[in-house]
């Protein structure tokens, strides 16, 4: 009987884990491994692009790739890991409870936005965290044009000025103009708890974000927190009310709760504290990867972030190491010393930085071209061609 590597999730980490495991089995001339991906849909949802319009188009069908590499796809939603029985309970598309066993398990179920229990946010707020919620925002924005002109209609409040908040806020002026007309006085307000714009970034990067925000007319409310969201807009902690038909929450991400019954340490973001091989300590046949893994990237104290840049590489290492442990091959400790950021700044352009100290290397159109190359090509699945996919899945191949 074949031994099974079961991967939960078909996001950046899960997809690359599957291809990387298939690659190692191929290199070892082993066809006795079954590599199976369990996820709701056989597609990669390109979350880093969810601030863009036409969100329904931001998926990539994984079926041709999986067929080419003999990767089995199982449609379902994992509910519980039963580590004693080496299996996973999942719900099929028709809601039947089913059990599947594994020889190695890779948990790649990603992350979700966290609302911190803000009053009214579920009923009246929007977000761009998942395809369905980003679609809901898009439908709402499209419908604004049919509403009578008012301050509230023309105002969007973006809650949280981190990476996602900045990309969405800087994209919105042109999206709103396209929907509501060039002459409409639209307003985009970022509500940020921190005392400076882009507080977590380098001074150089912050300056660029400030400059782009000014040119695009984006208003930042710093040292400010949301108290309540309701149908008329938001009320801030200091009692100020902002009339806004659109309030988008972007702050705070938590790893998927899957595996919470495991006796394993998790960090404040809910990620498993993994070993250098990406195993969950205490469970030598379970690996965590992507947004589910808290992993050291180097010996300098840096840790993988919940980014697609890290999820892709974490996926390749997890798949390799899960297969290696079944094939009697040495594991590869996860390393990812190169770190870059490319932040979209809407009609202003973009900014590209290198290093953990975020040295600005490109701005405006030049950086925008790079951003488009990254988000429209680099992070998409490889071609459904064995040779090309396996070359890209090598954990030691150059990525960025």
Residues that bind ligand FAD (CB under 6 A): 8-14, 38-40, 47-48, 50-51, 77-78, 108-111, 128-129, 163-164, 256, 258, 290-291, 306-309, 311
Which residue number, 155 or 341, has a Cβ lying nearer to ligand FAD?
341
Count of CB atoms within 10 A of residue 261's CB? Answer: 11
Query: How many Cβ atoms from other residues are within 10 Å of residue 163's Cβ?
Result: 19
CA 205 to chain centroid: 22
Q: How far apart are CA 309 and CA 383, in angstroms?
A: 19
Helices (H), 246-293: none
* Structure-token match 């579920």, residue found: 122
CB of 8 to ligand FAD, least distance (A): 5
Task: Please report how close the Cβ of residue 258 comes to ligand FAD at its closest, in angstroms.
Answer: 5
* φ/ψ of residue 385, rounded to 5: -140, 120
Give the DSSP per-residue string, 47-59: GGGTTSS-GGG-E
Nearer Cβ to ligand FAD (135/184):
135
Q: How far is the CB of 13 from ligand FAD (least distance, A)?
A: 4
**Residue least distant from ligand FAD (Cβ):** 11
Min separation Cβ 237 and ligand FAD, Å? 25
In angstroms, what is the minimal distance from the CB of 50 to ligand FAD? 4
At its nearest, how many Å lie between ligand FAD and the CB of residue 14? 5
In the bound state with ligand FAD, the residue whose beta carbon lies nearer, of 243 and 335, is: 335
Cβ atoms < 10 Å from Cβ of 149: 11
Beta bridge partners of 152: none
> CA 294, CA 273: separation in Å to the nearest integer?
5
Give the residue with the Cβ less far from ligand FAD, 8 or 205: 8
SS3 63: helix
Cα–Cα distance for residue pair 288/273, rounded to 1 Å: 9
Q: For residues 13 and 180, which CB has a smaller minimum distance to ligand FAD in the complex?
A: 13
Neighbours of 185 (CB within 10 A): 10
Question: Which of 121, 311 has the CB closer to ligand FAD?
Answer: 311
Q: How many residues does the chain have?
A: 400
CB of 250 to ligand FAD, least distance (A): 7
Q: Give the residue with the Cβ less far from ligand FAD, 228 or 338.
A: 338
């Amino acid at each position: 009987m074949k031994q099974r590597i079961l991967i939960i999730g078909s996001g950046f980490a899960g997809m690359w884990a599957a291809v990387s495991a298939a690659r190692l089995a191929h290199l070892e001339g082993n066809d006795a491994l079954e590599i199976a991906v369990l996820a709701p849909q056989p597609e990669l949802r390109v979350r880093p692009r969810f601030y863009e319009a036409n969100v329904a188009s931001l998926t990539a069908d994984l079926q041709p790739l999986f067929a080419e590499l003999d990767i089995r796809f199982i449609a379902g939603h994992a509910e519980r890991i039963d580590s004693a029985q080496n299996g996973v309970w999942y719900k099929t598309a028709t809601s039947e409870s089913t059990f599947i066993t594994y020889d190695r398990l890779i948990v790649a179920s990603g992350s979700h936005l966290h609302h911190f229990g803000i009053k009214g946010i579920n009923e009246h707020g929007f977000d761009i965290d998942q395809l369905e919620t980003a679609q809901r925002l898009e439908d709402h924005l499209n419908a604004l044009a049919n509403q009578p002109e008012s301050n509230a209609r023309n105002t969007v409040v973006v809650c949280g000025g981190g990476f996602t908040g900045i990309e969405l806020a800087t994209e919105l002026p042109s999206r709103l103009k396209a929907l509501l007309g060039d002459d409409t006085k639209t307003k985009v307000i970022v509500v940020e708890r921190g005392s400076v714009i882009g507080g977590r970034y380098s001074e150089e990067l912050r300056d660029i974000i400030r400059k782009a925000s000014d040119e695009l007319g984006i208003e930042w409310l710093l040292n400010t927190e949301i108290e309540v969201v309701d149908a008329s807009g938001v009320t801030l902690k200091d009692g100020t009310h902002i009339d806004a038909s659109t309030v988008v929450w972007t702050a705070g991400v938590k790893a998927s709760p899957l595996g919470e019954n495991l006796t394993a340490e998790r960090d404040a973001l809910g990620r498993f504290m993994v070993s250098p091989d990406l195993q969950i300590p205490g469970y030598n046949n379970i690996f965590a990867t992507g947004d589910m893994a808290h992993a050291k990237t180097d010996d300098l104290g840096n840790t993988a972030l919940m980014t697609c840049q890290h999820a892709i590489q974490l996926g390749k290492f997890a798949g390799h190491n899960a297969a290696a442990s079944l094939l009697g091959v040495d594991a590869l400790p996860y390393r990812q010393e190169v770190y870059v950021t490319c932040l979209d700044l809407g009609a202003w352009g973009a900014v590209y930085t290198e290093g953990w100290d975020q040295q600005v290397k490109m701005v405006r159109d030049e950086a925008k071209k790079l951003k488009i190359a990254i988000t429209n090509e680099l992070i998409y699945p490889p071609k459904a061609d064995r040779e090309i996919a396996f070359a890209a899945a090598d954990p030691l191949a150059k990525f960025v």
